[in-house]
């Protein structure tokens, strides 16, 4: 039996966050260093890992947290990637210009340079998740390394980077797969309304895991999904806050769990992906071959009449 030449050690970081950006990034750096020391060549961080999840309320002062790219946080993460010789996927509240802010994933190469960025495309607006107040959706087309649903090429492979709410949309995953992504990555910040009953919390968690595993199965691609942990209070005091449910996971191209965290522990979730497995799986489950693209025109309509 031959060994695949495309084995990729990966890690996803599950952590709590602090109101102080330096404290949060200090935790991130400590965990990334340990992941690299353990052999990871690709490390993925959760959504908005440098701050608390500030979208529980609408507050214009929060825009002071936003940074340009390049900027202080991207430079810090880039230096870390270069020092450790890893590809690193981080998350930044980006100030693109006056009045235009994005929820942006940034991919750093092993030399610390920015391989590309992905600006979150689907923006939620729900109780406790008022993201439309803060984030402009990303541009739909690829332009100078800034991608819509376009994979980011790196030394470890072509990364289909999406962000949180994007994970509920099969269109996003499929477009990444059709553009040649070799794995799907979903930095996430999702949790429970503390007042929800246990059965409802269980249904929400199971839905979150299942839909992403479904993207893996439907596209024959591995998925890396890091989520935060900890209870973060509502700054307005109008709710009991959010308990982030963790359960970060990595699965293979048939949706099989390769690693999964619990709902409360700081975790370096590590495994090794075989990037050649997608090819072998697609030979026996050729979903992309059998797509009826001649019959899908109505998918472009908001509602099919």
pLDDT at position 67, please? 98
pLDDT along the chain (305 residues), means of 10: 78 97 98 98 98 97 97 98 98 97 98 97 95 95 71 97 98 97 98 94 98 98 98 91 97 98 97 96 96 95 90
Q: What is the pLDDT of residue 1?
A: 46
Report whether 277 contacts 253 (CB < 8 A). Answer: yes
pTM of the model: 0.96
Question: What's residue 274's pLDDT?
Answer: 97
Radius of gyration of the chain (CA): 19
| CATH code, domain carrying 162 | 3.60.110.10
Q: What is the pLDDT of residue 236?
A: 87
Q: Measuring CA to CA, which residue among 200, 287, 182, 297 is closest to residue 243?
A: 200
* Residue 275 falls inside a structural domain: yes
Euclidean distance between CA atoms 125 and 137, whole angstroms: 12
Give me the catalytic one of 120, 131, 182, 251: 120
Is 279 a residue of the active site? no
Active-site hit among 17, 21, 94, 164: 164
Is 120 in the active site? yes
pLDDT in tens, 251-296: 999 999 999 999 999 999 999 999 999 999 999 999 999 999 999 9
Residue 155 falls within a domain, yes or no?
yes
Burial of 136 (0-12, 13-18, 19+ CB in 10 A): middle
3 located within any domain: no
pLDDT of 145 reads 57
Query: Of residues 17, 21, 47, 131, which has the active-site annotation?
Result: 47
- Which residues, including other chains, have CB under 8 Å from residue 193's CB and lie 6 or more apart? 127, 128, 239, 240, 242
Residue 2 lies in a domain: no
Examine residue 51 and state whether it is found in any structural domain, yes or no. yes
- Told to judge if 55 belongs to the known catalytic residues of this protein, a careful annotator would answer no
Whether 233 is in a domain gets the answer: yes
Give residue 14's pLDDT: 98
Look up the domain containing 60 and give its range. Answer: 8-290
The total number of structural domains in the chain stands at 1
Looking at the domain assignment, is residue 23 inside a domain? yes
Query: Given the structure tokens 């409360």, which residue do they identify?
Result: 264
């Amino acid at each position: 039996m031959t060994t695949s030449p495309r084995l990729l050690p990966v890690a996803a970081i599950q952590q709590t966050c602090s109101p102080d950006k330096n404290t949060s990034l200090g935790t991130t750096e400590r965990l990334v260093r340990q992941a690299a020391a353990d052999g990871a060549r690709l490390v993925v961080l959760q959504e908005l890992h440098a701050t608390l999840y500030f979208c529980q309320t609408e507050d214009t002062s929060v825009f002071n947290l936003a940074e340009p790219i390049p900027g202080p946080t991207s430079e810090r993460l880039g230096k870390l990637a270069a020092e450790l010789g890893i590809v690193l996927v981080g998350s930044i509240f980006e100030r693109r210009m006056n009045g235009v802010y994005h929820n942006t994933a940034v991919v750093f190469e092993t030399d610390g340079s920015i391989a590309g960025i992905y600006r979150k495309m689907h923006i939620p607006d729900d109780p406790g998740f008022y993201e439309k107040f803060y984030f402009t959706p990303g541009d739909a087309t690829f332009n100078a390394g800034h991608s819509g649903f376009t994979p980011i090429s790196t030394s470890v492979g072509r990364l289909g980077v999406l962000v949180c709410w994007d994970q509920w949309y099969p269109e996003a995953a499929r477009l990444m797969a059709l553009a040649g992504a070799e794995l799907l990555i979903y930095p996430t910040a999702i949790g429970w309304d503390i007042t929800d009953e246990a059965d409802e919390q269980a249904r929400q968690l199971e839905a979150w895991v299942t839909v992403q595993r479904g993207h893996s199965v439907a596209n024959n691609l591995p998925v890396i999904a890091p989520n935060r942990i900890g209870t973060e209070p509502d700054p307005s005091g109008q709710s009991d806050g959010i308990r982030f449910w963790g359960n970060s996971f990595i699965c293979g191209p048939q949706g099989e769990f390769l690693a999964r965290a619990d709902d409360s522990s700081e975790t370096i979730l590590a495994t090794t992906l075989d990037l050649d497995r997608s090819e072998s799986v697609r030979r026996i489950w050729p979903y992309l071959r059998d797509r009826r693209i001649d019959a899908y025109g109505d998918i472009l309509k908001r509602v099919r009449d």
